[in-house]
């Protein structure tokens, strides 16, 4: 037998010429006809193959081929009940395997046939671990015959179905039944001449060495994968709402409603559906949050919701002093916190300086004495700490008593520093209502299996 060089792809000029191809085909047919004409019953089983015609049933022929380690030739029509063909099978022109209703023909070995129908009947065909061709199930590809039933039968038989190029196209309509198979068209999408869509057929198209159509990733076709993604920003009025941004340049997909809901430290994003598996999910701050607040974002993800949390890494320091006329604050450049000192009368004669600042939870505060104009200053002492302020008193080291900040002195000067690196409240509750989150957004992106 001689093979025709079909080239790499349609009309690329790398295959045999039409004349050479038909010469080879004629020689192959002459060889096959001569062999068939000269068969004797003994030769049907003694050559390099087993001819199924030498046996009463296809099951017996298959068993003999397996035992002898030979190719099983099928050249005539057979009607079969449930049967597994385990040998290497070659179906010649004239072969037709008709499977009775309620029965299953399973092809577990290799199977070879030309572009003609070899399977028929109301029963089922299973091509285990191998691709099939739509022609094997009766597709004509003439642009007129309805090939929908053939495509449905092919999809039921194999996870991968090859569709040879047809200039006239295949009439496949939207009632095609295809649960989980991929049709690989050897050419462009224009070959689908009926009302079926490439998505229904889970179609791939090979054209000039390129592949297009429905992508596959690790065995999951694109219709099995969905994306949940978007951007949220805290509502200016109701801080429990984090609105999905939707404008001329942004949109959100796969989410339910117009906003996510914050409660305490968690923003809950509801998905538009419940998925079967989480493939991946990431959330992160935009440049406004990352650079301006040192924000980090993470998430816990379920099949129908994601809970987003955020933490800040805030640092700030300032020099607080009485300049002889007022309490002043000198804040270093690039600080995340703005410090504002004010006098507070505590009604006990030991008045304090209260240094207010932007919302910064925690008690990671330090104060240091500061020499003002070369004088020996009073010693600052932290009296209390809150999320948005620190109360400082002064001790006169010479007298050993608490000085009265209500009678300020230029020797009252100190350096204050506060840091915070933990999770924050995202619903505007408590002191977090003063936390300005208007300068940034949170991005999220998730991939899920349907």
Same domain, 101 and 4: no
Let me know if residue 431 belongs to a domain.
no
Q: Smallest Cα–Cα separation from 373: which of 335, 300, 322?
A: 322
Same domain, 88 and 195: yes
Comparison of pLDDT for 81 and 436, the residue scoring more:
81
Let me know if residue 235 belongs to a domain.
yes
Contacts of 30 (CB under 8 A, 6+ apart): none
What is residue 47's predicted lDDT score, i.e. its pLDDT? 67
Let me know if residue 58 belongs to a domain.
yes
Q: What is the pLDDT of residues 361-390, one digit of tens each?
A: 777 899 998 876 666 688 999 988 888 889
Which residue has 């509502």 as its token pair?
235
Same domain, 335 and 373: yes
Computed from CA positions of residues 262, 263, 264, 267, in that sequence, does the dihedral angle turn out positive or negative?
Answer: negative
Let me know if residue 430 belongs to a domain.
no
pLDDT tier, 312 (very low <50, low <70, confident <90, very high otherwise): confident
Q: Using CA atoms, how far apart are residues 405 and 344, in angstroms rounded to an integer?
A: 8
Let me know if residue 181 belongs to a domain.
yes
* Mean pLDDT score, 394-399: 86
Total domain count, the chain: 4
What is residue 38's predicted lDDT score, i.e. its pLDDT? 55
DSSP-assigned states of every residue in 76-142: SEEEESSEEE-S-EEE-TT-EEEEPTT-EEEE-S-EEE-SS--EESSSEEEETTS-EEGGGGT---S
Element (H or E) spanning 62, and its range?
helix 58-68
Comparison of pLDDT for 85 and 337, the residue scoring more:
85
Cβ 293 vs Cβ 337: under 8 Å: no
Residue finishing a domain among 198, 221, 244: 221
pLDDT tier, 410 (very low <50, low <70, confident <90, very high otherwise): confident
Let me know if residue 57 belongs to a domain.
yes
Q: Using CA atoms, how far apart are residues 288 and 305, in angstroms rounded to an integer?
A: 26
Alpha helix (H) residue ranges in 282-433: 287-293
Same domain, 297 and 387: no
Calculate the average pLDDT of the chain: 86
Same domain, 217 and 228: no
Structure tokens at 278: 């989480």
Structure tokens at 416: 């204050």
What is residue 408's predicted lDDT score, i.e. its pLDDT? 84
Cβ 161 vs Cβ 181: under 8 Å: yes
Q: Smallest Cα–Cα separation from 382: which of 347, 409, 415?
A: 415
Same domain, 305 and 445: yes
What is residue 85's predicted lDDT score, i.e. its pLDDT? 97
DSSP state of 69: T
Same domain, 333 and 210: no
What is residue 313's predicted lDDT score, i.e. its pLDDT? 80
Q: Give the phi and the psi of residue 261 in degrees, each rounded to 5.
A: -115, 130
Q: pTM of the entire structure? A: 0.50
Domain boundaries, position 66: 48-221
Whether 126 has a pLDDT exceeding 50, the answer reads: yes
* Mean pLDDT score, 37-57: 71
pLDDT tier, 41 (very low <50, low <70, confident <90, very high otherwise): very low
What is residue 259's predicted lDDT score, i.e. its pLDDT? 97
Whether 265 has a pLDDT exceeding 90, the answer reads: yes
Collapsed DSSP state (helix, strand, coil) of residue 373: coil
Collapsed DSSP state (helix, strand, coil) of residue 15: coil
Let me know if residue 426 belongs to a domain.
no
pLDDT tier, 99 (very low <50, low <70, confident <90, very high otherwise): very high
Share of the chain above pLDDT 90, in %: 49
Computed from CA positions of residues 14, 18, 19, 22, in that sequence, does the dihedral angle turn out positive or negative?
Answer: positive
Comparison of pLDDT for 165 and 270, the residue scoring more:
270
Give the CA radius of gyration of the chain: 40
Same domain, 104 and 189: yes
Structure tokens at 182: 């991929």
Cβ 249 vs Cβ 401: under 8 Å: no
Same domain, 170 and 268: no
Which of 56-70, 94-108, 177-191 is predicted least confidently? 177-191
Which residue has 């330090």 as its token pair?
366
Share of the chain above pLDDT 70, in %: 86
Collapsed DSSP state (helix, strand, coil) of residue 275: coil
Residue finishing a domain among 221, 248, 279: 221
Same domain, 59 and 92: yes
What is residue 42's predicted lDDT score, i.e. its pLDDT? 43
**Inter-CA distances, 327 with 376, 379, 393, Å:** 18, 16, 14
What is residue 37's predicted lDDT score, i.e. its pLDDT? 56
Let me know if residue 140 belongs to a domain.
yes
Residue finishing a domain among 175, 203, 221: 221
Task: Find how far residue 413's CA is from the centre of its chain.
Answer: 57
* Mean pLDDT score, 263-275: 96
Comparison of pLDDT for 209 and 232, the residue scoring more:
232
What is residue 212's predicted lDDT score, i.e. its pLDDT? 55
Collapsed DSSP state (helix, strand, coil) of residue 274: coil
**Inter-CA distances, 443 with 269, 432, 435, Å:** 12, 21, 19
Same domain, 216 and 243: no
What is residue 248's predicted lDDT score, i.e. its pLDDT? 87
Same domain, 82 and 197: yes
């Amino acid at each position: 037998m001689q093979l025709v060089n079909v080239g790499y792809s349609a009309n690329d000029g790398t295959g045999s010429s039409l004349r050479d191809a038909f010469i080879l085909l004629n020689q192959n047919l002459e060889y096959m006809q001569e062999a068939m004409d000269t068969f004797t019953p003994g030769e049907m089983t003694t050559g390099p193959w087993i001819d199924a015609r030498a046996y009463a049933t296809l099951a017996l022929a298959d068993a003999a081929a397996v035992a002898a380690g030979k190719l099983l030739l099928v050249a005539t029509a057979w009607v079969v009940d449930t049967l597994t063909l385990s040998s290497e099978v070659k179906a010649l022109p004239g072969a037709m395997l008709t499977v009775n209703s309620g029965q299953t023909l399973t092809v577990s070995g290799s199977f070879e046939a030309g572009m003609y129908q070899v399977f028929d009947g109301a029963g089922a065909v299973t091509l285990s671990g191998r691709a099939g061709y739509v022609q094997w199930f009766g597709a004509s590809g003439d642009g007129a015959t309805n090939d929908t039933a053939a495509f449905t039968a092919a999809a039921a038989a194999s996870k991968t179905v090859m569709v040879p190029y047809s200039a006239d196209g295949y009439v496949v309509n939207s009632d095609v039944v295809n649960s989980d198979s991929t049709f690989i068209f050897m050419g462009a999408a224009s070959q689908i001449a009926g009302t079926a869509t490439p998505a229904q057929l889970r179609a791939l198209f090979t054209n000039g060495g390129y592949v297009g159509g429905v992508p596959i990733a690790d065995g999951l076709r694109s219709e099995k994968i969905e994306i949940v993604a978007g951007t949220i920003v805290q509502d200016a009025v109701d801080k429990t709402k984090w609105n999905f941004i939707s404008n001329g340049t942004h949109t959100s997909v796969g989410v339910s409603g117009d906003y996510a809901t914050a409660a305490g430290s968690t923003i809950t994003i509801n998905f538009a559906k419940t998925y079967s598996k989480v493939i991946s999910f990431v959330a992160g701050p935009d440049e406004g949050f990352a650079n301006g607040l040192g924000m980090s974002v993470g998430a816990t993800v379920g099949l129908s919701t994601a809970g987003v949390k955020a933490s800040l890494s805030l640092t700030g320091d300032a020099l607080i002093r009485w300049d002889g006329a007022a309490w002043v604050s000198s804040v270093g450049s690039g600080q995340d916190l703005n410090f504002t000192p004010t006098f507070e009368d505590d009604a006990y004669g030991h008045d304090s300086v209260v240094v207010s600042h932007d919302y910064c939870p925690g008690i990671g505060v330090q104060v240091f004495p500061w020499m003002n104009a070369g004088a020996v200053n009073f010693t600052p002492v932290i009296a209390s700490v809150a999320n948005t302020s620190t109360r400082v008193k002064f001790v006169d080291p010479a007298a050993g008593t608490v000085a009265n900040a209500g009678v300020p002195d230029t020797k009252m000067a100190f350096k204050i520093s506060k840091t915070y690196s933990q999770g924050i409240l995202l619903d505007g509750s408590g002191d977090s209502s003063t936390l300005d989150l208007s300068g940034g957004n949170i991005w999220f992106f998730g991939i899920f299996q349907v």
